Structure 1
Amino acid sequence: MTGLFNSVFGTATTITVQEFLICIAVSLAIGVFLAGVYAFRSKYTQSFLVTLALIPAVVCVVIMMVNGNVGAGVAVAGAFSLVRFRSVPGSAKEICAIFLAMGAGLVTGMGFIGYAVLLAIILGGAMFACSLTGFGGGRDEERALKITVPENLDYTEAFDEVLADCTDSYRLTNVKTTSMGSLFKLTYVVKLKKDTNQKDMIDRLRVRNGNLEIMLTQVDSGDITL
């Protein structure tokens, strides 16, 4: 049993073709497993899942090629900088999945296949359990309501009546000026009532903001903290 968690490279400084192929195969299997776990009850794109499946193998190869060299530290830092492959900011769950895949590839690249599999099973299982139980999903019911108003409108209580009728809770989290100060943009975090008709709510708000832009979107961390 102890031998399962020893490095397949032993004390050797060179890597055989057989050891190389074993590590790559295990890395790919772990990547596919993590991609499958991430896809459960999550929004995703095909490109992200393919990348998530291949990252462990890529990191594994990098670590194997510098095994025993002084440049290993630089290689590790370079491997983890792969998180910049995304051109747009990712969600916290995406970033966590990427680092988990990188961590598994790093362990596999050092030859500790048993630990890499154990890491993937434990943390992948934890991610699956969180998705299955909806852990931390309370924010999913909230929406960001963004309302543009003219500068001459007192927005302090202008929308309270509509929001009180259509939402279970609401709070103003952000106010900023735009168009050289001629307009205000308000951001509310709202929790809609189950029977709320979104179009009717927006139509009622349009009457009060002079038919300027109104946007209802998924809430993000910026809408909550600002």
Structure 2
Amino acid sequence: MPDIDLNTTVNTTLTLWSSLLTIIVSFALGIMISVTYIKTHVRGYYSQNFSLTLILIPSVIAVIILLVGSNVARAFSLAGAFSIARFRSTAGDPKDISYVFFSMAAGLACGVGLFGYAALFTILLCAFIVILCKIDFGAKKTCSKILKIIIPENMNYQGAFDDILKKYTTNYQLYKIKTTDLGTLFELVYTITMNSDKNEKEFIDELRCRNGNLSIVLSMDANTSDS
């Protein structure tokens, strides 16, 4: 008679009802996490695909934990399968990464059968996130902006706009210079903090007089600037 590997019989105690309960609870927690993500996202702008992914992640993780159980060989096989997958999406908001780990933790807790703890920490963390969002925790008092100025190639850009920038901003820094239009123009990129007492239109008008009425772009948020 062949030997029986006890590891292969670990998950035979799974029942249909316990599996359904695990999937339902993890799915419900995923919805709660996704709704929190939608309600607390900056300016109400969010990715629908990511919000749907947050709903599915807990259920997927829970099912994986159910199937793997305590089978070490199966766990290593699963790790090998995941190592083959390559994520090619661009890096997003760092907060989105925390939501992914949040969803995975909820699914892991459901997968091992700790439904009460999973629900408790999900509710608490969602509440904490909402509170932090409501009090605008970590928000800057002043808004950093991006200023892009096009100048002709024969213009010396070093200190060319310093007097205007000192007049209309509380802080500025030239952090990038590049050629454009086949090298016939220069693009200067500044990070600036506008003086709240100054008029932005007057600021741009003075810059236009200095750069020969070439293109000037003032982005409202430094985080939205083009690379």
Taking structure 1 as the reference length, the TM-score comes to 0.75
Match among 80, 84, 88 for residue 87 of structure 2? 84
- Counterpart CA distance in 2 for 1:216 and 1:74 is 53
Quote the residue 1:161 is aligned against: 163
2:120: which partner in 1?
Answer: 118
Match status 1:71 vs 2:74 = yes
Counterpart in the other structure of 1:190:
192
Distance 1:162 1:55, change over 3 A: farther
Contact 1:38 1:128 in 2 (8 A): no
| In structure 2, C-alpha distance between the alignment counterparts of 1:81 and 1:137, rounded to whole Å | 39
SS of residue in 2 equivalent to 1:173: strand
Give the secondary-structure state (helix, strand or coil) at the position aligned to 2:90.
coil
Paired residues of 2:65 and 2:112 also in contact (CA < 8 A):
yes
For residue 34 of structure 1, report the CA deviation from its aligned partner.
1.3
Q: CA deviation digits over 1:47-100, x for unaligned, max 9?
A: 322222222222222332222332325536866998937x33211112221221
Aligned residue in 2 for 1:105: 107
Q: TM-score, normalised by structure 2?
A: 0.74
- 108-117 or 25-34: bigger deviation: 108-117
Q: Percent of aligned pairs with the same residue?
A: 38
Counterpart of 2:87 in structure 1: which amino acid?
A: R
The 1:93/1:13 distance shift into structure 2, 3 A limit, reads same
Whole-Å separation in 2 of the counterparts to 1:131 and 1:78: 38
Which structure has the bigger radius of gyration?
A: 2
Q: Matched residues in 2 for 1:129 and 1:82: separation?
A: 36
User: Which amino acid in 1 is paired with 2:120?
Assistant: L
- Which stretches in structure 2 are left out of the alignment for 5+ residues? 1-8
Counterpart position of 1:220: 223
Question: Which digits, 9 at most, give the CA deviation of each residue in 1:167-200, with x for residues without a partner?
Answer: 3322223334455654433322222334555454
Could you list the per-position Cα deviations for residues 9-58 of structure 1 after superposition, in whole angstroms to 9, with x for gaps in the alignment? xx952321111111111112211111222223423133322222222222
- 5+ unaligned residues in a row in structure 1: which ranges? 1-10
Asked if the contact 1:63–1:72 (Cα under 8 Å) also holds between the matched residues in 2, the reply is no
Asked whether the equivalents of residues 63 and 75 of structure 1 are also in contact (C-alpha less than 8 Å), the reply is no
SS in 2 for 1:71: helix
Q: Secondary structure at the match of 1:187?
A: strand
Query: 1:125 and 1:74 mapped to 2: Cα distance?
Result: 37
In the alignment, what sits opposite 2:11?
Answer: 13
Check the 8 A contact 2:25/2:110 in 1, yes or no.
yes
Q: Using a 3 Å threshold, how does the CA distance of structure 1 residues 94 and 36 change in structure 2: closer, same or farther?
A: same
Following the alignment from structure 2 to structure 1, what is the Cα–Cα distance between the partners of residues 40 and 10? 44
Aligned length: 213
